[in-house]
Amino acid sequence: MAERKTMMAMKQLMLRYPTGKVALSGINLSIEQGEFVYLTGESGAGKSSLLRMFYGGLRPTSGQLHVQGWDMREASEDDVRSLRRRTGVCFQNQRLLFSRTVFENVALPLHIQGWDKKRLIPRVQKVLDYVRLGDRLWSYPEALSGGEQQRIAIARAMMATPPVVLADEPTGNLDEETARHVLDLLMGLNQLGMTVIMATHDLHLLNSHPGRVVQLHAGALVGDSYAP
């Protein structure tokens, strides 16, 4: 069996905000290609901070962090841009552009990479078909339900077929059935070969959707296991 590539490698990783608050400390963790990882922990445990570090939104204060081969303490601006192009992100509040159509929202990652409208339309259509919103190509996000908006965010994150997808509380405000469906989609991306790292509070979802569970508490790593 071929050896799996290490996507994230952390050694004594520490993050301190300019305010002096220590968000993460002494994190030693490695995430391999193709894993489905749940980041769990109470509010303020450091889940979102860790996810932000994975796309270069925050730089480590000390320790080591390698993401997709880049040393995040030394990475240049261009390196961070390249990393972001290879990372799909579902943000906590989705960050959809409400003045833009679903097409314009979902097309954004590849439009940034230079794709023209002609090539983008069939591609966006295909991705929206995957999240079962193929008929909403020209709708505006405000016309969609919370679950549909979350699926649009997932469609946008998978648009450029990135090797890593980060999802920050993607099921946070959804009912159980919709949350399960959103998780099905993320599991589907994982089965397509993408490494999925998801911060969540909804531990009950782990029963139906197995994965590696990394538990944080007050900025420290307190658990790393497989569930169920």
Partner 1 sequence: MHPKGVRVHLPGGWNMPPMGIHQYLALIIVAVALWALGSVWMGLQATGDWVGSWQKNMVLHVYLPQESNDKLARLKSDLQNISGVVTVVSVSHDVAANWMQQWLGKGVGDVSLMAKHLPETLVLSLQHSDGELFVVDDVRETAQRVGASINEDEVRLLGMRDVLDQAEYLAWFVTLLLGLAMALIVSNTLRMILLARADEIHLMRLMGAKEWFVRMPFLLEGSALGAAAGLLAWGLLWPWVWGISSWLEASSVSLNIWGLLLPLLFGGAVLGCLGAAVATARLESPDSVDV
Exposed / middle / buried, residue 166 (Cβ in 10 Å: 0-12, 13-18, 19+): buried
Q: Which of 146, 196, 179, 178 is nearest to 36 (CA)?
A: 196
Distance between CA 122 and CA 6 in Å, rounded? 33
- 95 near partner 1, rule: CB under 8 A: yes
How many residues touch partner 1 under the rule CB under 8 A: the total is 30
Using the rule CB under 8 A, give the single segment among 4-12, 74-82, 144-152, 186-194 that binds partner 1: 74-82
Using the rule CB under 8 A, give the single segment among 36-44, 73-81, 182-190, 212-220 that binds partner 1: 73-81
Among 6, 61, 101, 173, binds partner 1 (CB under 8 A): 101
Give the CA-trace dihedral at 103, 171, 190, 38, to 10 degrees.
140
Q: How far is the CB of 14 from partner 1 (least distance, A)?
A: 16
Using the rule CB under 8 A, give the single segment among 6-14, 38-46, 49-57, 204-212 that binds partner 1: 49-57
Among 4, 5, 21, 117, binds partner 1 (CB under 8 A): 117
What 65-70 contacts at long range (C-beta under 8 Å, 24+ apart), as own/partner pairs, is 65/8, 65/9, 65/10, 65/13, 66/6, 66/8, 66/9, 66/10, 67/7, 67/8, 68/7, 68/8, 68/163, 68/164
How many Cβ atoms from other residues are within 10 Å of residue 187's Cβ?
A: 16
Among 13, 37, 103, 169, binds partner 1 (CB under 8 A): 103
Among 5, 12, 21, 57, binds partner 1 (CB under 8 A): 57
Collapsing DSSP to helix, strand or coil, 181 comes out as: helix
- 82 near partner 1, rule: CB under 8 A: yes
Q: How far is the CB of 193 from partner 1 (least distance, A)?
A: 20
Looking at beta carbons only, is 64 or 178 nearer to partner 1? 64
Using the rule CB under 8 A, give the single segment among 5-13, 117-125, 145-153, 185-193 that binds partner 1: 117-125
> Strands, E, within 74-228: which ranges?
87-90, 164-168, 195-199, 211-217, 220-227
- 41 near partner 1, rule: CB under 8 A: no
Q: How far is the CB of 72 from partner 1 (least distance, A)?
A: 11
Distance between CA 33 and CA 194 in Å, rounded? 7
The footprint of partner 1 (CB under 8 A) covers 52, 55-59, 77, 80-85, 89, 95, 97, 100-101, 103-104, 107-109, 111-113, 117, 120-121, 138
